[in-house]
Protein backbone atom coordinates (compact mmCIF):
# COMPACT_ATOMS: atom_id res chain seq x y z
CA UNK A 1 0.00 0.00 0.00
CA UNK A 2 2.14 2.87 -1.32
CA UNK A 3 1.82 6.01 0.81
CA UNK A 4 -0.33 3.90 3.10
CA UNK A 5 -0.53 6.21 6.10
CA UNK A 6 -1.68 9.14 4.01
CA UNK A 7 -4.74 7.55 2.36
CA UNK A 8 -8.16 7.97 3.88
CA UNK A 9 -11.71 7.03 3.00
CA UNK A 10 -13.50 9.19 0.39
CA UNK A 11 -17.17 9.74 -0.33
CA UNK A 12 -16.80 7.92 -3.62
CA UNK A 13 -15.31 4.95 -1.81
CA UNK A 14 -18.49 4.48 0.20
CA UNK A 15 -20.31 3.25 -2.86
CA UNK A 16 -17.73 0.56 -3.61
CA UNK A 17 -17.79 -1.55 -0.50
CA UNK A 18 -20.82 -3.67 -1.41
CA UNK A 19 -19.25 -4.72 -4.71
CA UNK A 20 -16.65 -7.39 -5.29
CA UNK A 21 -14.82 -4.87 -7.44
CA UNK A 22 -13.63 -3.22 -4.22
CA UNK A 23 -11.88 -6.49 -3.38
CA UNK A 24 -10.67 -7.72 -6.75
CA UNK A 25 -7.09 -7.57 -8.03
CA UNK A 26 -6.64 -5.24 -10.96
CA UNK A 27 -3.88 -5.80 -13.53
CA UNK A 28 -2.91 -3.25 -16.14
CA UNK A 29 -1.52 -5.34 -18.99
CA UNK A 30 -0.02 -2.74 -21.16
CA UNK A 31 -0.34 0.75 -19.79
CA UNK A 32 2.28 3.37 -20.03
CA UNK A 33 4.82 4.12 -17.09
CA UNK A 34 7.62 6.31 -15.47
CA UNK A 35 11.33 7.07 -14.86
CA UNK A 36 13.80 9.11 -12.53
CA UNK A 37 13.48 12.77 -13.52
CA UNK A 38 15.98 14.09 -16.03
CA UNK A 39 15.89 15.94 -19.33
CA UNK A 40 16.82 14.32 -22.67
CA UNK A 41 16.97 15.95 -26.05
CA UNK A 42 18.22 15.24 -29.54
CA UNK A 43 22.01 15.62 -29.88
CA UNK A 44 23.33 18.10 -32.43
CA UNK A 45 26.32 17.44 -34.66
CA UNK A 46 29.47 19.40 -33.74
CA UNK A 47 29.51 21.24 -37.10
CA UNK A 48 25.88 22.33 -36.98
CA UNK A 49 24.87 25.67 -35.47
CA UNK A 50 23.78 25.44 -31.88
CA UNK A 51 20.07 24.72 -31.66
CA UNK A 52 17.78 25.71 -28.83
CA UNK A 53 17.43 22.86 -26.42
CA UNK A 54 14.06 21.14 -26.88
CA UNK A 55 11.84 21.77 -23.92
CA UNK A 56 9.01 19.87 -22.30
CA UNK A 57 5.68 21.69 -22.33
CA UNK A 58 4.27 21.97 -18.83
CA UNK A 59 0.79 23.20 -18.00
CA UNK A 60 -0.95 23.40 -14.63
CA UNK A 61 -2.92 20.29 -15.64
CA UNK A 62 0.19 18.25 -16.49
CA UNK A 63 1.92 19.41 -13.33
CA UNK A 64 -1.04 18.24 -11.27
CA UNK A 65 -1.05 14.95 -13.13
CA UNK A 66 2.69 14.56 -12.54
CA UNK A 67 2.24 14.98 -8.81
CA UNK A 68 -0.65 12.50 -8.84
CA UNK A 69 1.52 9.98 -10.69
CA UNK A 70 4.35 10.35 -8.19
CA UNK A 71 1.95 9.88 -5.28
CA UNK A 72 0.37 6.82 -6.87
CA UNK A 73 3.61 5.11 -7.91
CA UNK A 74 5.78 5.62 -4.84
CA UNK A 75 7.72 8.67 -5.99
CA UNK A 76 10.94 8.81 -7.98
CA UNK A 77 13.39 5.89 -8.02
CA UNK A 78 16.90 7.34 -7.82
CA UNK A 79 19.51 5.30 -9.70
CA UNK A 80 22.21 7.29 -11.57
CA UNK A 81 23.39 4.24 -13.54
CA UNK A 82 19.89 3.56 -14.84
CA UNK A 83 19.38 7.23 -15.60
CA UNK A 84 22.59 7.24 -17.66
CA UNK A 85 21.43 4.17 -19.61
CA UNK A 86 18.02 5.70 -20.30
CA UNK A 87 19.49 9.08 -21.27
CA UNK A 88 21.77 7.41 -23.81
CA UNK A 89 18.90 5.32 -25.17
CA UNK A 90 16.47 8.23 -25.49
CA UNK A 91 19.15 10.39 -27.17
CA UNK A 92 19.42 7.74 -29.91
CA UNK A 93 15.66 7.40 -30.25
CA UNK A 94 15.09 11.15 -30.45
CA UNK A 95 17.76 11.53 -33.14
CA UNK A 96 16.11 8.74 -35.16
CA UNK A 97 12.56 10.09 -34.77
CA UNK A 98 10.81 12.38 -37.22
CA UNK A 99 10.54 15.05 -34.50
CA UNK A 100 14.05 15.60 -33.08
CA UNK A 101 12.89 18.97 -31.81
CA UNK A 102 10.57 17.35 -29.24
CA UNK A 103 12.00 17.37 -25.72
CA UNK A 104 11.35 14.64 -23.16
CA UNK A 105 11.50 14.45 -19.40
CA UNK A 106 11.78 10.89 -18.19
CA UNK A 107 10.90 9.74 -14.66
CA UNK A 108 11.71 6.35 -13.16
CA UNK A 109 8.99 5.48 -10.69
CA UNK A 110 9.62 3.61 -7.46
CA UNK A 111 7.03 0.94 -8.17
CA UNK A 112 7.24 -2.80 -8.76
CA UNK A 113 4.30 -2.61 -11.17
CA UNK A 114 5.09 -3.20 -14.84
CA UNK A 115 3.87 0.01 -16.43
CA UNK A 116 4.80 2.98 -18.63
CA UNK A 117 2.93 6.04 -19.86
CA UNK A 118 3.25 9.55 -21.29
CA UNK A 119 1.81 13.03 -20.75
CA UNK A 120 1.15 15.41 -23.67
CA UNK A 121 4.12 17.75 -23.22
CA UNK A 122 6.81 15.05 -23.39
CA UNK A 123 6.81 13.70 -19.83
CA UNK A 124 7.53 9.97 -19.99
CA UNK A 125 7.24 7.54 -17.09
CA UNK A 126 8.47 3.99 -16.60
CA UNK A 127 8.42 1.91 -13.42
CA UNK A 128 11.43 0.09 -12.03
CA UNK A 129 9.26 -3.04 -12.24
CA UNK A 130 9.17 -2.65 -16.00
CA UNK A 131 12.91 -2.01 -16.16
CA UNK A 132 13.57 -5.17 -14.10
CA UNK A 133 11.41 -7.24 -16.45
CA UNK A 134 13.22 -6.18 -19.63
CA UNK A 135 16.29 -8.18 -20.65
CA UNK A 136 18.14 -5.84 -22.99
CA UNK A 137 18.26 -2.25 -24.17
CA UNK A 138 16.29 -3.01 -27.34
CA UNK A 139 13.34 -4.14 -25.19
CA UNK A 140 13.54 -0.98 -23.08
CA UNK A 141 13.89 1.13 -26.24
CA UNK A 142 10.66 -0.38 -27.56
CA UNK A 143 8.84 0.92 -24.47
CA UNK A 144 10.45 4.35 -24.63
CA UNK A 145 9.79 4.74 -28.35
CA UNK A 146 6.18 3.62 -27.85
CA UNK A 147 5.68 6.38 -25.28
CA UNK A 148 7.46 8.91 -27.50
CA UNK A 149 5.02 7.91 -30.25
CA UNK A 150 2.09 8.79 -27.99
CA UNK A 151 3.55 12.27 -27.57
CA UNK A 152 4.40 12.72 -31.26
CA UNK A 153 0.93 11.58 -32.36
CA UNK A 154 -0.69 13.81 -29.71
CA UNK A 155 -2.63 10.86 -28.34
CA UNK A 156 -2.69 12.16 -24.78
CA UNK A 157 -4.12 15.50 -25.88
CA UNK A 158 -6.76 13.75 -27.97
CA UNK A 159 -7.69 11.56 -25.02
CA UNK A 160 -8.26 14.65 -22.91
CA UNK A 161 -10.60 16.05 -25.59
CA UNK A 162 -12.46 12.75 -25.83
CA UNK A 163 -12.86 12.62 -22.04
CA UNK A 164 -14.33 16.13 -22.02
CA UNK A 165 -16.75 15.20 -24.79
CA UNK A 166 -17.78 12.05 -22.92
CA UNK A 167 -18.39 14.03 -19.74
CA UNK A 168 -20.51 16.54 -21.67
CA UNK A 169 -22.58 13.76 -23.25
CA UNK A 170 -23.19 12.20 -19.86
CA UNK A 171 -24.39 15.50 -18.40
CA UNK A 172 -26.71 16.15 -21.38
CA UNK A 173 -28.25 12.68 -21.20
CA UNK A 174 -28.74 12.91 -17.46
CA UNK A 175 -30.33 16.36 -17.73
CA UNK A 176 -32.69 15.48 -20.58
CA UNK A 177 -33.79 11.95 -19.76
CA UNK A 178 -35.37 10.21 -16.82
CA UNK A 179 -35.17 6.86 -18.66
CA UNK A 180 -32.45 4.78 -16.94
CA UNK A 181 -32.22 2.43 -19.95
CA UNK A 182 -31.60 5.32 -22.34
CA UNK A 183 -29.00 6.79 -20.01
CA UNK A 184 -27.20 3.45 -19.68
CA UNK A 185 -27.21 2.98 -23.48
CA UNK A 186 -25.71 6.41 -24.07
CA UNK A 187 -23.00 5.85 -21.52
CA UNK A 188 -22.19 2.40 -22.95
CA UNK A 189 -21.82 3.88 -26.45
CA UNK A 190 -19.57 6.61 -25.09
CA UNK A 191 -17.35 4.07 -23.32
CA UNK A 192 -17.15 1.93 -26.43
CA UNK A 193 -16.09 4.91 -28.54
CA UNK A 194 -13.39 5.88 -26.06
CA UNK A 195 -12.09 2.32 -25.72
CA UNK A 196 -11.91 1.76 -29.50
CA UNK A 197 -10.14 5.07 -29.95
CA UNK A 198 -7.60 4.20 -27.29
CA UNK A 199 -7.07 0.70 -28.69
CA UNK A 200 -6.22 2.17 -32.09
CA UNK A 201 -3.86 4.62 -30.42
CA UNK A 202 -1.95 1.79 -28.76
CA UNK A 203 -1.54 -0.10 -32.02
CA UNK A 204 -0.46 3.07 -33.80
CA UNK A 205 2.09 3.80 -31.06
CA UNK A 206 3.38 0.22 -31.34
CA UNK A 207 3.97 0.65 -35.09
CA UNK A 208 5.59 4.07 -34.71
CA UNK A 209 7.71 2.85 -31.80
CA UNK A 210 9.10 -0.16 -33.67
CA UNK A 211 10.01 2.11 -36.59
CA UNK A 212 11.79 4.64 -34.36
CA UNK A 213 13.65 1.90 -32.50
CA UNK A 214 14.73 0.24 -35.74
CA UNK A 215 15.96 3.53 -37.22
CA UNK A 216 18.05 3.95 -34.06
CA UNK A 217 19.55 0.52 -34.94
CA UNK A 218 17.97 -1.38 -32.05
CA UNK A 219 16.63 -4.86 -32.67
CA UNK A 220 13.06 -4.26 -33.97
CA UNK A 221 11.90 -7.52 -32.39
CA UNK A 222 12.52 -6.07 -28.92
CA UNK A 223 8.88 -4.91 -28.76
CA UNK A 224 7.49 -8.38 -29.45
CA UNK A 225 9.82 -9.97 -26.89
CA UNK A 226 8.89 -7.48 -24.21
CA UNK A 227 5.16 -7.74 -24.90
CA UNK A 228 5.57 -11.50 -24.49
CA UNK A 229 7.31 -10.97 -21.15
CA UNK A 230 4.46 -8.69 -20.03
CA UNK A 231 1.97 -11.38 -21.00
CA UNK A 232 3.83 -13.96 -18.90
CA UNK A 233 4.00 -11.51 -15.98
CA UNK A 234 0.24 -10.93 -16.19
CA UNK A 235 -0.37 -14.68 -16.34
CA UNK A 236 1.53 -15.11 -13.07
CA UNK A 237 -0.62 -12.46 -11.39
CA UNK A 238 -3.82 -13.89 -12.87
CA UNK A 239 -2.90 -17.37 -11.58
CA UNK A 240 -3.52 -16.12 -8.05
CA UNK A 241 -7.26 -16.54 -8.54
CA UNK A 242 -9.67 -18.54 -10.66
CA UNK A 243 -10.85 -15.40 -12.47
CA UNK A 244 -8.72 -13.42 -14.91
CA UNK A 245 -8.43 -9.83 -13.63
CA UNK A 246 -7.70 -8.67 -17.18
CA UNK A 247 -11.17 -9.78 -18.26
CA UNK A 248 -13.04 -7.80 -15.62
CA UNK A 249 -13.68 -4.97 -18.11
CA UNK A 250 -13.91 -5.96 -21.77
CA UNK A 251 -13.83 -2.27 -22.66
CA UNK A 252 -10.22 -2.15 -21.55
CA UNK A 253 -8.36 0.65 -23.31
CA UNK A 254 -5.59 -1.68 -24.48
CA UNK A 255 -5.81 -4.43 -27.10
CA UNK A 256 -5.12 -8.01 -26.05
CA UNK A 257 -1.41 -8.65 -25.75
CA UNK A 258 -1.39 -11.66 -28.16
CA UNK A 259 -2.76 -9.35 -30.86
CA UNK A 260 -0.12 -6.72 -30.11
CA UNK A 261 2.66 -9.34 -30.16
CA UNK A 262 1.58 -10.63 -33.57
CA UNK A 263 1.33 -7.11 -35.01
CA UNK A 264 4.69 -6.09 -33.50
CA UNK A 265 6.36 -9.11 -35.09
CA UNK A 266 4.82 -8.32 -38.48
CA UNK A 267 6.05 -4.72 -38.28
CA UNK A 268 9.54 -5.81 -37.15
CA UNK A 269 9.92 -7.94 -40.31
CA UNK A 270 9.87 -4.75 -42.37
CA UNK A 271 12.92 -3.42 -40.55
CA UNK A 272 15.07 -6.54 -40.26
CA UNK A 273 18.63 -5.84 -41.40
CA UNK A 274 22.19 -6.46 -40.18
CA UNK A 275 22.33 -2.86 -38.96
CA UNK A 276 19.19 -3.19 -36.86
CA UNK A 277 20.06 -5.99 -34.49
CA UNK A 278 21.55 -4.35 -31.39
CA UNK A 279 20.21 -5.72 -28.12
CA UNK A 280 22.94 -4.53 -25.75
CA UNK A 281 22.13 -7.43 -23.43
CA UNK A 282 25.29 -7.44 -21.30
CA UNK A 283 25.39 -3.70 -20.67
CA UNK A 284 21.70 -3.69 -19.80
CA UNK A 285 22.05 -6.48 -17.24
CA UNK A 286 25.00 -4.66 -15.66
CA UNK A 287 22.89 -1.51 -15.36
CA UNK A 288 19.96 -3.22 -13.64
CA UNK A 289 22.05 -5.41 -11.31
CA UNK A 290 20.87 -4.71 -7.73
CA UNK A 291 17.71 -2.84 -8.78
CA UNK A 292 14.91 -3.08 -6.19
CA UNK A 293 12.36 -5.73 -7.18
CA UNK A 294 8.74 -5.74 -6.10
CA UNK A 295 7.51 -3.56 -3.29
CA UNK A 296 9.45 -0.98 -1.32
CA UNK A 297 9.42 -2.19 2.32
CA UNK A 298 9.20 1.36 3.61
CA UNK A 299 5.65 1.47 2.27
CA UNK A 300 4.61 -2.02 3.29
CA UNK A 301 5.24 -5.30 1.50
CA UNK A 302 4.05 -8.87 1.10
CA UNK A 303 6.12 -11.90 2.02
CA UNK A 304 4.22 -15.06 1.26
CA UNK A 305 1.01 -14.91 3.31
CA UNK A 306 2.20 -12.02 5.49
CA UNK A 307 1.87 -8.27 5.04
CA UNK A 308 4.42 -6.17 6.91
CA UNK A 309 4.64 -2.41 7.25
CA UNK A 310 7.93 -1.50 8.97
CA UNK A 311 7.28 2.26 8.87
CA UNK A 312 3.92 1.93 10.63
CA UNK A 313 5.08 -1.00 12.74
CA UNK A 314 2.49 -3.75 12.19
CA UNK A 315 1.96 -7.06 10.43
CA UNK A 316 -0.79 -9.60 9.79
CA UNK A 317 -1.09 -12.94 8.03
CA UNK A 318 -3.78 -14.58 5.89
CA UNK A 319 -4.67 -18.31 6.08
CA UNK A 320 -3.43 -21.03 3.75
CA UNK A 321 -4.74 -20.91 0.18
CA UNK A 322 -4.89 -17.09 0.24
CA UNK A 323 -2.70 -14.89 -1.94
CA UNK A 324 -1.92 -11.29 -0.97
CA UNK A 325 -1.38 -8.36 -3.30
CA UNK A 326 -0.31 -4.89 -2.15
CA UNK A 327 -2.03 -2.35 -4.39
CA UNK A 328 -1.88 1.45 -4.32
CA UNK A 329 -5.22 1.66 -2.54
CA UNK A 330 -5.31 -1.40 -0.27
CA UNK A 331 -3.94 -4.83 0.50
CA UNK A 332 -6.07 -7.39 -1.34
CA UNK A 333 -6.31 -11.06 -0.43
CA UNK A 334 -7.97 -13.70 -2.62
CA UNK A 335 -8.55 -17.33 -1.72
CA UNK A 336 -7.77 -19.99 -4.31
CA UNK A 337 -10.92 -20.49 -6.32
CA UNK A 338 -12.07 -16.90 -5.88
CA UNK A 339 -14.81 -17.78 -3.37
CA UNK A 340 -13.40 -15.57 -0.61
CA UNK A 341 -11.64 -12.20 -0.69
CA UNK A 342 -10.30 -9.61 1.72
CA UNK A 343 -9.53 -5.90 1.65
CA UNK A 344 -7.32 -4.17 4.23
CA UNK A 345 -6.97 -0.39 4.33
CA UNK A 346 -6.81 2.64 6.61
CA UNK A 347 -9.61 5.14 7.32
CA UNK A 348 -10.07 8.33 9.29
CA UNK A 349 -12.27 7.93 12.36
CA UNK A 350 -12.56 10.82 14.85
CA UNK A 351 -11.10 9.96 18.24
CA UNK A 352 -14.41 10.78 19.91
CA UNK A 353 -16.33 8.34 17.68
CA UNK A 354 -16.46 4.74 18.87
CA UNK A 355 -15.56 1.99 16.41
CA UNK A 356 -19.05 0.52 16.75
CA UNK A 357 -20.56 3.88 15.82
CA UNK A 358 -18.26 4.05 12.80
CA UNK A 359 -19.41 0.63 11.57
CA UNK A 360 -23.01 1.83 11.70
CA UNK A 361 -22.38 5.29 10.25
CA UNK A 362 -23.51 4.40 6.72
CA UNK A 363 -20.18 4.14 4.87
CA UNK A 364 -21.17 0.60 3.85
CA UNK A 365 -24.61 -0.48 2.74
CA UNK A 366 -26.69 -3.21 4.36
CA UNK A 367 -24.74 -3.42 7.60
CA UNK A 368 -26.65 -5.44 10.19
CA UNK A 369 -26.52 -3.04 13.13
CA UNK A 370 -27.63 -5.78 15.54
CA UNK A 371 -24.45 -7.70 14.68
CA UNK A 372 -22.13 -4.90 15.85
CA UNK A 373 -19.78 -6.07 18.59
CA UNK A 374 -17.03 -4.28 20.51
CA UNK A 375 -13.82 -6.31 20.77
CA UNK A 376 -10.22 -6.20 21.89
CA UNK A 377 -7.70 -7.76 19.48
CA UNK A 378 -4.18 -8.30 20.82
CA UNK A 379 -4.71 -5.35 23.16
CA UNK A 380 -6.09 -3.01 20.47
CA UNK A 381 -9.66 -1.61 20.59
CA UNK A 382 -11.73 -3.14 17.79
CA UNK A 383 -15.28 -3.77 16.60
CA UNK A 384 -16.96 -6.07 14.11
CA UNK A 385 -20.20 -6.30 12.13
CA UNK A 386 -21.73 -8.21 9.23
CA UNK A 387 -23.36 -7.09 5.99
CA UNK A 388 -24.97 -8.83 3.05
CA UNK A 389 -25.17 -8.10 -0.66
CA UNK A 390 -26.91 -9.84 -3.55
CA UNK A 391 -24.10 -12.35 -4.08
CA UNK A 392 -21.63 -11.82 -1.24
CA UNK A 393 -21.63 -11.97 2.54
CA UNK A 394 -19.36 -9.51 4.34
CA UNK A 395 -17.62 -9.57 7.71
CA UNK A 396 -16.06 -6.25 8.72
CA UNK A 397 -13.52 -5.57 11.45
CA UNK A 398 -12.11 -2.17 12.40
CA UNK A 399 -9.15 -1.82 14.72
CA UNK A 400 -7.57 1.25 16.30
CA UNK A 401 -3.77 1.20 16.17
CA UNK A 402 -2.19 4.40 17.44
CA UNK A 403 -3.83 7.36 15.74
CA UNK A 404 -5.07 5.28 12.80
CA UNK A 405 -8.00 2.93 12.30
CA UNK A 406 -7.47 -0.08 10.08
CA UNK A 407 -10.27 -1.87 8.34
CA UNK A 408 -10.52 -5.56 7.34
CA UNK A 409 -13.39 -6.33 4.95
CA UNK A 410 -13.94 -10.02 4.21
CA UNK A 411 -16.25 -11.20 1.42
CA UNK A 412 -17.48 -14.75 0.87
CA UNK A 413 -19.88 -16.09 -1.72
CA UNK A 414 -21.31 -18.33 0.98
CA UNK A 415 -21.15 -17.71 4.71
CA UNK A 416 -19.55 -20.85 6.15
CA UNK A 417 -17.71 -21.93 9.27
CA UNK A 418 -14.51 -21.83 7.23
CA UNK A 419 -15.05 -18.29 5.92
CA UNK A 420 -15.78 -17.06 9.46
CA UNK A 421 -12.67 -18.83 10.79
CA UNK A 422 -10.48 -17.37 8.02
CA UNK A 423 -11.65 -13.87 8.91
CA UNK A 424 -11.03 -14.33 12.63
CA UNK A 425 -7.59 -15.89 12.10
CA UNK A 426 -6.50 -13.02 9.87
CA UNK A 427 -7.67 -10.28 12.23
CA UNK A 428 -6.25 -12.06 15.28
CA UNK A 429 -2.84 -12.19 13.58
CA UNK A 430 -2.62 -8.37 13.51
CA UNK A 431 0.20 -7.31 15.85
CA UNK A 432 3.09 -4.93 16.35
CA UNK A 433 6.34 -5.69 14.58
CA UNK A 434 9.32 -6.30 16.83
CA UNK A 435 12.35 -4.06 16.59
CA UNK A 436 14.29 -6.95 15.08
CA UNK A 437 11.63 -7.45 12.40
CA UNK A 438 11.67 -3.78 11.52
CA UNK A 439 15.45 -3.72 11.25
CA UNK A 440 15.45 -6.89 9.13
CA UNK A 441 12.93 -5.53 6.63
CA UNK A 442 14.75 -4.84 3.39
CA UNK A 443 13.74 -4.87 -0.27
CA UNK A 444 14.13 -7.74 -2.68
CA UNK A 445 16.63 -7.01 -5.44
CA UNK A 446 17.59 -8.30 -8.85
CA UNK A 447 20.99 -9.98 -8.82
CA UNK A 448 22.70 -10.80 -12.11
CA UNK A 449 24.76 -14.00 -11.94
CA UNK A 450 26.75 -16.13 -14.38
CA UNK A 451 25.52 -19.66 -15.00
CA UNK A 452 28.01 -22.22 -13.71
CA UNK A 453 28.47 -25.88 -14.70
CA UNK A 454 25.67 -27.92 -13.16
CA UNK A 455 23.28 -24.99 -12.85
CA UNK A 456 19.77 -25.57 -14.20
CA UNK A 457 16.57 -23.56 -14.38
CA UNK A 458 15.29 -25.59 -11.45
CA UNK A 459 18.38 -25.16 -9.28
CA UNK A 460 18.62 -21.41 -9.90
CA UNK A 461 14.90 -20.92 -9.28
CA UNK A 462 15.47 -22.44 -5.82
CA UNK A 463 17.79 -19.49 -5.12
CA UNK A 464 14.96 -17.02 -5.72
CA UNK A 465 13.87 -15.37 -2.46
CA UNK A 466 10.55 -13.88 -1.40
CA UNK A 467 8.59 -14.57 -4.61
CA UNK A 468 5.75 -16.89 -5.55
CA UNK A 469 6.04 -19.41 -8.42
CA UNK A 470 9.87 -19.15 -8.39
CA UNK A 471 10.50 -21.36 -11.45
CA UNK A 472 7.91 -19.62 -13.60
CA UNK A 473 9.15 -16.24 -12.38
CA UNK A 474 12.77 -17.14 -13.18
CA UNK A 475 11.76 -18.04 -16.73
CA UNK A 476 9.70 -14.86 -17.08
CA UNK A 477 12.47 -12.58 -15.79
CA UNK A 478 15.00 -14.10 -18.18
CA UNK A 479 12.81 -14.35 -21.27
CA UNK A 480 12.91 -18.15 -21.26
CA UNK A 481 10.15 -20.20 -22.82
CA UNK A 482 8.48 -23.12 -21.05
CA UNK A 483 11.09 -25.61 -22.26
CA UNK A 484 14.14 -23.39 -22.81
CA UNK A 485 17.35 -24.28 -20.98
CA UNK A 486 20.22 -22.14 -19.75
CA UNK A 487 23.84 -22.50 -20.85
CA UNK A 488 27.09 -22.22 -18.94
CA UNK A 489 28.38 -18.62 -18.92
CA UNK A 490 24.93 -17.17 -19.62
CA UNK A 491 24.15 -14.18 -17.43
CA UNK A 492 20.75 -14.44 -15.79
CA UNK A 493 18.60 -12.57 -13.26
CA UNK A 494 17.50 -13.98 -9.92
CA UNK A 495 15.66 -12.31 -7.04
CA UNK A 496 17.46 -12.12 -3.70
CA UNK A 497 16.83 -10.46 -0.33
Domain at 481, CATH number = 3.10.350
Cβ 12 vs Cβ 363: under 8 Å = no
- Together in a domain, 101 and 157: yes
d(CA 197, CA 185): 18
pLDDT of residue 297: 81
- Together in a domain, 132 and 234: yes
* Element of type H or E holding 385: strand 380-388
What does the buried/exposed string (b/e) look like for 85-113 if buried means 16 or more CB atoms within 10 Å of the residue's CB?
bbbebbbbbbbbbeebebbbbbbbbbbbb
pLDDT of residue 424: 96
Per the structure, the count of domains in the chain is: 3
Q: Is residue 240 included in any domain, yes or no?
A: yes
- State whether residue 148 is helix, strand or coil: helix
Q: Is residue 187 included in any domain, yes or no?
A: yes
> CA distances (Å), 338 to each of 227, 243, 269, in order?
27, 7, 42
Beta bridge mates, 85: none
Q: Is residue 257 included in any domain, yes or no?
A: yes
Cβ 247 vs Cβ 188: under 8 Å = no
pLDDT of residue 164: 52
d(CA 217, CA 430): 54
Domain at 383, CATH number = 3.40.1000.10
pLDDT of residue 56: 78
Beta bridge mates, 383: 374, 398
Q: What is the pTM of this model?
A: 0.70
Q: Is residue 166 included in any domain, yes or no?
A: yes
- pLDDT beneath 70, residues of the chain: 1-53, 156-197, 238-255, 276, 328
- Together in a domain, 353 and 455: no
Instruction: Quickly list DSSP for 91-132.
Output: HHHHHHSS-TT--EEEEEES--S--B-B-TTSEEEEEHHHHH
d(CA 350, CA 347): 10
Q: Is residue 16 included in any domain, yes or no?
A: no
Q: Is residue 7 included in any domain, yes or no?
A: no
Three-state SS string over 28-55 comes to: CCCCCECEEEEEECCCCCCCCCCCCCCC
Task: Name the average pLDDT for the chain.
Answer: 81
Cβ 425 vs Cβ 453: under 8 Å = no
Q: Is residue 18 included in any domain, yes or no?
A: no
- Together in a domain, 248 and 368: no
Beta bridge mates, 431: 315
Q: Which value, in Å, is the radius of gyration of the alpha carbons in the chain?
A: 24
> CA distances (Å), 253 to each of 117, 153, 166, in order?
13, 17, 15
- Together in a domain, 346 and 481: no
pLDDT of residue 263: 92
- Together in a domain, 427 and 448: no
HSE-CB of 490 using CA atoms within 13 angstroms: 18
CA–chain centroid gap for 268, Å, is: 27
> CA distances (Å), 98 to each of 145, 148, 215, 283, in order?
12, 11, 10, 27
Candidates 56, 55, 73, 53; CA nearest to 117 is 73
Cβ 174 vs Cβ 186: under 8 Å = no
Q: Which of 290, 316, 346 is the last residue of a domain?
A: 290
- Together in a domain, 347 and 463: no
Work out the number of other CB atoms within 10 angstroms of the CB of residue 340: 26
Q: Is residue 21 included in any domain, yes or no?
A: no
- State whether residue 71 is helix, strand or coil: helix
Candidates 3, 4, 6, 9; CA nearest to 22 is 9
Q: 414: domain range?
A: 303-432
Amino acid sequence: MDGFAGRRETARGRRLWAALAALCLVVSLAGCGEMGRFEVAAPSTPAAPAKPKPVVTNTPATEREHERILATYGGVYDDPQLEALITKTVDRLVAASEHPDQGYKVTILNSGAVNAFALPGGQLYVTRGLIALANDTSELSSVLSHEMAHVIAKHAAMREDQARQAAMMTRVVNDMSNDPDLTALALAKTKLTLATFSRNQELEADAMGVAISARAHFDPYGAARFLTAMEHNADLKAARASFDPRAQDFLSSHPATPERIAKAEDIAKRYTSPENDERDHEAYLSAIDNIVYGEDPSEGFVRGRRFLHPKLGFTFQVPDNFTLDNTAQAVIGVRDGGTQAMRFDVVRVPAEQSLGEYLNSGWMENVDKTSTEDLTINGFPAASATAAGDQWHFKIYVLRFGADVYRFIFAAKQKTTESERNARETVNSFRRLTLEEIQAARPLRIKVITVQPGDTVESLSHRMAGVDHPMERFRMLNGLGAHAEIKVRDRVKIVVD
